[in-house]
Structure 1
Amino acid sequence: MDLEISGRSAAEISDSLRGLVERRMLRPGDALPPVRSLADRLGVNRNTVVAAYRQLTQTGVLVTRGRGGTRVADRAAVAQEGFAADTVLRDVGTGNPDPSRIPDISRALARVAGRPVLYGEPVIDPAVERWAREWMRDAPADPFSLTITSGAADAVERLLASALTRDDAVALEDPCFLTSIHTVRVGGYRAVPVPVDDEGMTVEGLRAALADGVRAVVCTPRAQNPTGASVTAERAGKLRAVLAEHPYVLVIQDDHFSMLSREPFHSITGPENRRWALVRSVSKFLGPDMCLAVTASDLETADRLAVRLTPGTTWVSHLLQRLTLALATDPEVTADIERAGAHYAERNIAFAERLAGRGIPARAGDGLNLWVPLPVPAHAVADRLMRRGWLVRSGEDFSLGDPDAAYRLRLTTHDLSDADADQLADDIAAAVDAVHHQSARGGMG
């Protein structure tokens, strides 16, 4: 590679490389010269080049790939959850809860207004802490500490930042929740994919990731997004056995669906694990705008997390905490949450049966979405569905390298009427047939 890299000191070499990236002479994914060859060319000590590369990896300009060398970081945007903006299509790829199933907060608001909370007061409202400790009573170890954050994504980001440095490896499920992909990429960590099957994270995949040197594991124990898989009791036991051999790896369990889930919670960590966190958010059952999550963790992890939640700067509003408590302890609201969970499960099962009746075998897991296998490339089916008025999610958005994701759709169909659900199922079947016939004729999908 003929690059105009110059400099005698680490700072000068770093500035030279940064300039090449800014002028687009080095592009995302491009490999940099090996340390030894660049040091020989510049006539400097190899440690000088190592220091220059380290400066740029710490600022996110470069990434290290082990035997794959050092490369320019890919800053391409990660696909995001939620409604697509500026579209006239019917969006069935949102990943959103049904707004009609989110409790009305107006009555509770009047009850939670009280005295102002001032600087120096406890970060967690005492009444909220009592409720949260009961909610997290099935945490994988005791004693544990509680932390309140602005949602599950905020908790995961802060947990990783408190334990890792740039280029540390993190085990992520594959296919993976979009926000987790984004969090790891922005943090400058290296994602190590762990395959997911119907019972959750695979044992061999986790074992391989640990052998690759991951310092943290992010796992969804129930309603994995996008697959809907939940960790079974048998699988959890096997995963615990593997993780017991790596007690100082931080294991984060993101139990985002919690109160809505139709499946029991089985922890993948046990008493042998010294670094663990269980995160539960209220966003799926009280609404995405209720940005609050509870984290139960070991005492040291909680202490590290607390440093990043200084009172008066990044604490979670006590008004929001009290509102969450008022809703989560209201018998009418909790009954509505139970009905919402049953609704999501029933509608997903019904749509999976619609697809099966049209020759597309689909399985309804837990959660808000369906992960639909197709016999043809999903992007080609998605293109044809757009012509029929539907916007769907192709599985590639969620993939860290899983080839099967290219033959999957993630659908959010729980709020469709029966008539609309029938129409979507018909249109998916028609699109699959059209792509299949086009492919058989040797054309484009």
Structure 2
Amino acid sequence: MTIEITGRSAADIADSVRALIERGTLRPGDPLPSVRGLAGSLGVNRNTVVAAYGQLTAAGVVVTRGRGGTHVADPEVVPQEGFAADSVLRDVATGNPDPDRIPDPSIALAGMAGRPVLYGEPVIDPGLERWAREWMSADLAPPDLRLTITSGAADAVDRLLALALVREDAVALEDPCFLTSIHTVRVGGYRPVAVPVDDEGMTVDGLRAALDDGVRAVVCTPRAQNPTGASLSAARAADLRAVLADHPYVLVIEDDHFSMLSRDPFRSIIGPGHRRWALVRSVSKFLGPDMCLAVTASDPDTADRLAMRLSPGTTWVSHLLQRLTLSLVTDPAVAAGIADAGAHYAARNAAFAARLTELGVPVAAGDGLNLWIPLPVAARDVSEQLMRRGWLARAGDEFVLGEPPAVPRLRLTVHDLSDDDAERLAADVAAAVRAAGGRLSPAGME
């Protein structure tokens, strides 16, 4: 096939390639002409083609594979959290909180109305700011802490990365990793660098290797890591802070998504001398996913940059939403309900883990909404067997950034199952392992 790329300037050449892609003449994965070849056919300097390809690469339209040439980008579809649309199967892969454990906002809504908020006013509701400062300061030592309100944790992480990075910059992500973080990094055009996670959280050797690889940002989940449920031990957090002490200008983002629901203490990897940092806490897990609000505490420079990233777009998060959040989190009955919800998730996960262990699939319950179940056979084979039994599960492969794990995993969301359904699912998991060729081992797996 002859590709009719035209143009004399870098911008015109880039526009020509874009037009060919939009018309379907060039498809994902198709190679572009070599720099030398295209420069010769167009009668332009090679640097002009290099500049054109550079513009296309920066925009994520094409990818460069060294000696493999330049190709039209093939964006990967990243799985997302939530219910599977139109599935007739019982979905135990949602990652959702229990809707019966989300506080009813109707009473708070009735009494929260106030005067209208106009352009130019403070972007953070004063009452929410006072409460949030106390909430965040309880776990952070820096005296110069600044607060920003965003439309959820994913919005905060996306904006934080955008203010610190350019396309192709490297970002350290936990491996296995939260699906939204994978999606955010890929869509942003950054290069994910996998940092393994074990039972104590992000590993020291993994972080050190990522920093040696030149990462400019680190995204860490201090507790209830999704999907593993791991939380940082005190020793691990101290070791990670020691490694980061030599890299004070690397942006460290802590995503404490489970916060108020967590059974584990918060342990930060942000040391007292670190210069660029942010702690993000969303309210979505305990007030509901539709409450799109997160509090970000950060150093002053990062806060100023984050505020600038907000200005051209949303400008501020609705003060009605901010007031509703404040009304709920300061209500003693709601606070008690949040505590009960955290205990409920922990108890239901522990009970299901005990059921599976008794049936020959040993698993330890971590913190968070999900269970991270080790398997003796490929996770996709087990998930296919579960589909035949009426369950929609999630293979752990979807969360992996680096090499396939030595022990395959299955992530299940089971906290909202009745006792009967939990018994049935546990039995079906054990049966699925057997049907996939795995051996049950009540004494544990290697």
Normalising to structure 1: TM-score of the pair?
0.92
CA-CA distance at 1:5 after TM superposition: 5.5
CA-CA distance at 1:3 after TM superposition: 6.5
Structure 2 counterpart of 1:391: 392
Structure 2 counterpart of 1:191: 192
CA-CA distance at 1:317 after TM superposition: 0.9
Asked if residue 118 in structure 1 is aligned to residue 125 in structure 2, the reply is no
What is the 5 A alignment of 1:396-411? 396-404=397-405, 407-411=408-412
CA-CA distance at 1:209 after TM superposition: 1.4
Structure 1 counterpart of 2:443: none
Q: Distance in 1 between matches of 2:67 and 2:294?
A: 38
Structure 2 counterpart of 1:169: 170
Secondary structure (helix, strand or coil) at the match of 1:422 reads helix
CA-CA distance at 1:281 after TM superposition: 0.6
Q: Does the Cα contact within 8 Å between 1:240 and 1:270 map onto a contact in 2?
A: yes
Q: Does the Cα contact within 8 Å between 2:374 and 2:407 map onto a contact in 1?
A: no
Distance 1:84 1:121, change over 3 A: same
Q: Distance in 2 between matches of 1:68 and 1:125?
A: 53
CA-CA distance at 1:304 after TM superposition: 0.5
Distance 1:196 1:325, change over 3 A: same
CA-CA distance at 1:244 after TM superposition: 1.4
Secondary structure (helix, strand or coil) at the match of 2:75 reads coil
CA-CA distance at 1:34 after TM superposition: 6.4
* Aligned Cα root-mean-square deviation (Å): 2.4
Residues 86-142 of structure 1: CA deviation (Å, up to 9, x unaligned): 112110000000011111111111221121211211100111100000000112522
Asked if residue 305 in structure 1 is aligned to residue 306 in structure 2, the reply is yes
Match for 1:52: what amino acid? A
CA-CA distance at 1:169 after TM superposition: 1.4
Match for 1:388: what amino acid? R
CA-CA distance at 1:23 after TM superposition: 5.6
What is the 5 A alignment of 1:237-252? 237-252=238-253
Q: Distance in 2 between matches of 1:364 and 1:385?
A: 21
CA-CA distance at 1:416 after TM superposition: 0.7
Match for 1:251: what amino acid? V
What is the 5 A alignment of 1:40-79? 44-64=44-64, 70-79=70-79
CA-CA distance at 1:74 after TM superposition: 2.6
Q: Distance in 1 between matches of 2:225 and 2:24?
A: 38
Structure 1 counterpart of 2:276: 275
What is the 5 A alignment of 1:210-225? 210-225=211-226
Q: Distance in 2 between matches of 1:193 and 1:46?
A: 36
CA-CA distance at 1:32 after TM superposition: 5.5
CA-CA distance at 1:246 after TM superposition: 1.2
Secondary structure (helix, strand or coil) at the match of 1:133 reads helix
Q: Does the Cα contact within 8 Å between 1:388 and 1:427 map onto a contact in 2?
A: yes
What is the 5 A alignment of 1:423-438? 423-436=424-437
Distance 1:274 1:321, change over 3 A: same
Q: Does the Cα contact within 8 Å between 2:377 and 2:438 map onto a contact in 1?
A: no
Residues 68-90 of structure 1: CA deviation (Å, up to 9, x unaligned): 87543232321111111111211
Distance 1:116 1:15, change over 3 A: closer
Range with greater deviation from structure 2 (154-163 or 275-284) = 154-163
Structure 2 counterpart of 1:235: 236
Match for 2:82: what amino acid? G
Distance 1:143 1:189, change over 3 A: same
What is the 5 A alignment of 1:341-352? 341-352=342-353
Q: Distance in 2 between matches of 1:271 and 1:38?
A: 53
Structure 2 counterpart of 1:182: 183
Corresponding pairs, count = 438
Distance 1:355 1:144, change over 3 A: same
Q: Does the Cα contact within 8 Å between 2:162 and 2:188 map onto a contact in 1?
A: yes
Match for 2:125: what amino acid? D
Q: Distance in 2 between matches of 1:19 and 1:147?
A: 40
Q: Distance in 1 between matches of 2:35 and 2:349?
A: 53
Q: Distance in 1 between matches of 2:354 and 2:182?
A: 31
Secondary structure (helix, strand or coil) at the match of 2:310 reads coil
Q: Distance in 2 between matches of 1:57 and 1:415?
A: 45
Structure 2 counterpart of 1:336: 337
Structure 2 counterpart of 1:287: 288
Structure 2 counterpart of 1:356: 357
Distance 1:403 1:280, change over 3 A: same
Q: Does the Cα contact within 8 Å between 1:119 and 1:311 map onto a contact in 2?
A: no
Secondary structure (helix, strand or coil) at the match of 1:119 reads coil
Normalising to structure 2: TM-score of the pair?
0.92
Residues 237-266 of structure 1: CA deviation (Å, up to 9, x unaligned): 111111111111111100000000011111
Structure 2 counterpart of 1:441: none
Q: Distance in 2 between matches of 1:203 and 1:19?
A: 47
Distance 1:282 1:395, change over 3 A: same
Q: Does the Cα contact within 8 Å between 1:219 and 1:254 map onto a contact in 2?
A: yes
Distance 1:227 1:38, change over 3 A: farther
Distance 1:350 1:317, change over 3 A: same
Match for 1:134: what amino acid? E
Q: Distance in 1 between matches of 2:196 and 2:316?
A: 35
CA-CA distance at 1:59 after TM superposition: 1.9
Secondary structure (helix, strand or coil) at the match of 2:218 reads strand
Q: Distance in 2 between matches of 1:75 and 1:246?
A: 32
Distance 1:43 1:198, change over 3 A: farther
Q: Distance in 2 between matches of 1:186 and 1:405?
A: 28
CA-CA distance at 1:185 after TM superposition: 1.4
Q: Does the Cα contact within 8 Å between 1:95 and 1:368 map onto a contact in 2?
A: yes
Distance 1:381 1:420, change over 3 A: same
What is the 5 A alignment of 1:96-115? 96-115=96-115
CA-CA distance at 1:425 after TM superposition: 0.6
Distance 1:100 1:65, change over 3 A: farther
Q: Distance in 1 between matches of 2:324 and 2:249?
A: 36
Structure 1 counterpart of 2:442: none
Distance 1:358 1:4, change over 3 A: farther
Q: Does the Cα contact within 8 Å between 1:57 and 1:167 map onto a contact in 2?
A: no
Asked if residue 148 in structure 1 is aligned to residue 149 in structure 2, the reply is yes
Q: Distance in 2 between matches of 1:92 and 1:257?
A: 19
Q: Distance in 1 between matches of 2:217 and 2:65?
A: 17
Q: Does the Cα contact within 8 Å between 2:153 and 2:280 map onto a contact in 1?
A: yes
Match for 2:257: what amino acid? H
Q: Distance in 2 between matches of 1:385 and 1:308?
A: 45
Structure 1 counterpart of 2:414: 413
Structure 2 counterpart of 1:442: none
